[in-house]
Structure 1
Amino acid sequence: MRPFSRQSATRAAAASVAVVAMTALSACSSDSDAADPASESVTAPEGSYPGVSASGEPVKIGLINNEGGQAVSQPQNREAAEAVVRYANDNLGGIGGRPVELVECKQGEEPASARDCANQMVESGVSAAVITTTGMGDVMVPIITGAGIPYVAASGQSMAELTTENSFLWTGGFPASLSAMAATASDQEMKKVTAFTINVPAAVSGLEQLGVPAFAAAGVDLEVVPIPMGTPDATPQVSAGLASNPEGVVVVGEETACTSIFKALGTLGATAEKFTNASCTAQSVIDAVGSAMEGAQVFAATDTTTDNPEANLFQSVMQKYAPNTETGGQTPVAYQGMLGLFRATESVEGTDTSPAAIISAIASAVDVPTPAAEGLAFTCNQSALPPLTSICNKGSIILTIEDGQMTDPRVVN
């Protein structure tokens, strides 16, 4: 086997950072500056705490989190998943009436530790493996599903996650967001849209391989303009992308890229409709670019900041079971991934909580309410967004930025 070189490790880390950033397309909160439920009174939806305690022999469920690595470390994701387990064991009867016992593994968003975590799931005999956010899906999926264990996440980016049998993704993530953007552009009678994106494989290939065909099918031409990572002033690239007079622009990236691109759009006086991802709604971006983001439409698969039952449940669970955990960033994605498993396995009864029983329950569940996403529901019958057979829900939530706040959630299926 060829050794994994320092150069290869650097490339993998950079790609992993980008993929985790792309996962923010399926989240929608205002990063660490979002409202902290621990400091506010949150009213949970009626019936949220029925007090049905789990009992008996525990069910082992794996939890793999991107934590402790040099490039990415998000302990808040693990804390959110742990909070859901405590909530479900106290109130939802766990799985099949039995309490869930987490088998946790932290991987540093590089192949060696990701492979180790996947192997640990197999060796520990977990009934399912829940992954928070990762750029290492291609490494972990074959090991986990190859052992007959379901691979579960709120969303995925790699082709292994998106297409492998017994990989289940509650939301459509980046592909679904691109599809919703294309449909919205068509509804607004646009003919040309320019996408400004951070120049990393996860973002560029996603736009070129999934976005361009989706927009074309909607009768819209999509031009992709990559912008190098760390570019402090994207005005030259943005100016070139606006030369064709697009009716709409898409901004994809992490906080630095979002700030640079939106500042350039403001400087150039761009009047095109703006579509973006949730990473661009971090408070640092909004503070930096100000009015240049006004009216931007945010495409996501969670909504935890507006006042609806699912958002209130998220805030309530986090306040009760993880009061010191940040509720922005990818925290809702981890919450969504874990609570989705409990909801998808409500049909499990008795002593059989084997991986096969979990897979059967997930595959037969219909219109399961998607956690932290009021109005969305998932069904894992491989038909939501073909040929991406692992995706269980193609819907998106669109919010509009007004005065620095996300408002007016609209569900698009």
Structure 2
Amino acid sequence: MRVAIITNEGGAAISQPETTAAARAAVSYANDNLGGIGGHRIEIVLTCPTREDVATARTCANKVVEAKADALVVTSTGLGATIAPIVTGAGIPYITANGATAPELTSPASFVWTGGFPSILRAWAKYAKDKGYRSFTAFVIDSPSAIGAAQQLGAPAFKAAGVDFTVATVPAGTPDATPIVSAALRRKPDAVAVIGESTVCISVIKALETVGTSADKLITQPCVERSVLDAVGSAIDGTQVATPYDVISKDDPEVRRYDAVMARYAPDTPTGGYAGIGYQGMMSFIRAAQGIRGDVSPAAVIAAVKSAKNVPLPIGHGITFTCDGTALPPLISVCSSSNIFERFDAGKATDAQVVALR
């Protein structure tokens, strides 16, 4: 089984090498303990860091095609709109735990294990409606995929919920977001959300504390990686975290397996940050494709994944996925619409709960 990996390592503002280490750890575990995938040893034929640069991402996608990979696993990226059409156009399945762009979310050859950003936006819209909120502001990293998803998917969801929704963009690497946050808070939103990588999380969370607000605060998983927690301290307390995976429920067999795999195959990689998305993306693929039949090929991989039913989502707090196009219409590539919500208190995530949209 020839598998390529694309990762967002090496960027000046964004770099998440832990996702690659976790994906590779999942492969080593599967080869040593599961017989690979369907009895076929997994060979990583390419690892390509995009540096979150469009031209480099396009080069990586073309390298996947040239490598004749049977599948591509993307650990995380904001450039799915560049990568997915090239890969799926060559008949190679595009696989990721968390997608945000239309080419990732609507291709018959693309598989997104979790509802990701689109389902988080819908869950937040429902949450705001249930709370009786009238306005909601999202601080979003200034990347095409994140802004596009917020505007194209978030705005309709909040409109349907009867909640005013605004987006404030924050460039990656912004050292002080106070002017951006101050301007957005003049609208007096009932709730605010932070959507971005670590530098955006740090600058916005610090600015929210500096400016002061009574708004409910919601964040996504990158905002709870160790560098963010160390930088913002108690400013994160009371926030609600929307995440595709649970690594805090240490009595959960899935979490125990994750910790054991990482300890064995990636001992120097922190497990509490965004490493989980790389592990979840690869391990979900390993589970979903176990039923592959005959010779290994991209078409055989696609058929195997589409035929798998109710697959346990790795570190998914009991969530299962099925890639039949019905999880989050009209996004046919999404395989599950559920998310995990956690609460941060005293610097630690607690009370993981599954929030299902269906």
TM-score over 0.5 for the pair: yes
Q: In structure 2, what residue type is equivalent to 1:172?
A: G
Unaligned runs of 5+ in 2: none
When normalised by structure 2's length, the TM-score is: 0.90
Secondary structure at the residue paired with 1:175?
helix
Secondary structure at the residue paired with 2:344?
strand
- Residues 1:76 and 2:21 are matched in the alignment: no
Could you tell me how far 1:360 is from its partner in structure 2?
A: 1.0
Q: In structure 2, what residue type is equivalent to 1:87?
A: Y
Q: In structure 1, what residue type is equivalent to 2:40?
A: R
Cα distance change of structure 1 residues 359 and 230 upon mapping to structure 2, 3 Å threshold: closer
- Residues 1:100 and 2:67 are matched in the alignment: no
Distance 2:173 2:111 in 1: 34
- Residues 1:128 and 2:71 are matched in the alignment: yes
Q: Which residue of 1 aligns with 2:159?
A: 216
Aligned counterparts, 1:304-323, within 5 A: 304-307=247-250, 308-323=252-267
Distance 1:130 1:383 in 2: 22
Q: In structure 1, what residue type is equivalent to 2:47?
A: C
Cα distance change of structure 1 residues 200 and 132 upon mapping to structure 2, 3 Å threshold: closer
Cα distance change of structure 1 residues 181 and 132 upon mapping to structure 2, 3 Å threshold: same
Q: 1:342 aligns with which of 286, 291, 297?
A: 286
1:40-74 deviation line (CA, Å, top 9, x unaligned): xxxxxxxxxxxxxxxxxxx2222223345555544
Cα distance change of structure 1 residues 221 and 359 upon mapping to structure 2, 3 Å threshold: same
Distance 1:116 1:263 in 2: 37
1:286-305 deviation line (CA, Å, top 9, x unaligned): 34434332211001101113
Q: Which residue of 2 aligns with 1:204?
A: 147
Q: In structure 1, what residue type is equivalent to 2:290?
A: E
Q: In structure 2, what residue type is equivalent to 1:327?
A: T
- Residues 1:394 and 2:318 are matched in the alignment: no
Aligned counterparts, 1:129-144, within 5 A: 129-144=72-87
Q: 2:314 aligns with which of 353, 371, 381?
A: 371
Q: 1:180 aligns with which of 120, 123, 146?
A: 123
Of 91-100 and 167-176, more deviation after overlay is shown by 91-100
Cα distance change of structure 1 residues 164 and 276 upon mapping to structure 2, 3 Å threshold: same
Q: Which residue of 2 aligns with 1:6?
A: none
Distance 1:290 1:141 in 2: 38
1:114-146 deviation line (CA, Å, top 9, x unaligned): 333333333333221212122332332222212
Cα distance change of structure 1 residues 135 and 292 upon mapping to structure 2, 3 Å threshold: closer
Given that 2:13 and 2:173 are in contact with CA atoms closer than 8 Å, whether structure 1 keeps it comes out as: no
Structure with more contact order per residue of length (Cα contacts < 8 Å, sep ≥ 6): 1
| Alignment root-mean-square deviation, CA | 2.3
1:78-110 deviation line (CA, Å, top 9, x unaligned): 222221112112222212212111212323333
1:297-352 deviation line (CA, Å, top 9, x unaligned): 00110111332222221111111122222324432111111111111012224x42
When normalised by structure 1's length, the TM-score is: 0.79
Q: Which residue of 2 aligns with 1:30?
A: none
Given that 1:84 and 1:338 are in contact with CA atoms closer than 8 Å, whether structure 2 keeps it comes out as: yes
Distance 2:323 2:84 in 1: 17
Secondary structure at the residue paired with 1:390?
coil
Could you tell me how far 1:236 is from its partner in structure 2?
A: 4.2
Q: Which residue of 1 aligns with 2:31?
A: 89
Of 75-84 and 308-317, more deviation after overlay is shown by 75-84
Could you tell me how far 1:226 is from its partner in structure 2?
A: 3.0
Percent of pairs with identical residues: 48
Secondary structure at the residue paired with 1:87?
helix
Of 335-344 and 158-167, more deviation after overlay is shown by 158-167
Aligned counterparts, 1:228-243, within 5 A: 230-243=173-186
Q: 2:138 aligns with which of 182, 188, 195?
A: 195
Distance 1:310 1:268 in 2: 40
Unaligned runs of 5+ in 1: 1-58
Q: In structure 2, what residue type is equivalent to 1:355?
A: P
Q: In structure 1, what residue type is equivalent to 2:352?
A: P
Could you tell me how far 1:200 is from its partner in structure 2?
A: 4.0
Q: In structure 1, what residue type is equivalent to 2:267?
A: P
Give the structure with higher Rg (CA): 1
Of 340-349 and 396-405, more deviation after overlay is shown by 340-349
